[in-house]
């Protein structure tokens, strides 16, 4: 996969994440924190996947 395609996908995922942060509310409770952590872990997984693809580690 070429670099520009991968980075374009990352831009799209980050734009979706930014929109999710703006539109979502996480209450200051254990459930709210767990939800926020899950959201951030999903974003991080997308970024890690792009890094792996750029390194040629894509499976």
pLDDT mean over 1-24:
92
Q: For position 59, what pLDDT does the model report? A: 52
Q: Tell me the whole-structure pTM to 2 decimals.
A: 0.80
- Is a pLDDT exceeding 90 seen at residue 46? yes
Residue located via tokens 């831009």: 11
> Does position 58 have pLDDT exceeding 70, yes or no?
no
- The average pLDDT across 35-50 equals 94
**Residue 38 confidence (pLDDT):** 95
Burial of 48 (0-12, 13-18, 19+ CB in 10 A): exposed
Closest C-alpha among 34, 15, 36, 16 to residue 25: 36
Q: Is the pLDDT of residue 18 over 90?
A: yes
Element (H, E) at 10: helix 3-23
């Amino acid at each position: 996969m070429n670099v520009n395609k991968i980075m374009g996908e990352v831009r799209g995922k980050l734009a979706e994440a930014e929109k999710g942060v703006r539109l979502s509310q996480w209450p200051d409770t254990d459930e709210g924190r767990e939800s926020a952590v899950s959201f951030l872990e999903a974003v991080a997984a997308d970024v890690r996947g792009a890094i792996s693809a750029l390194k040629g580690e894509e499976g």
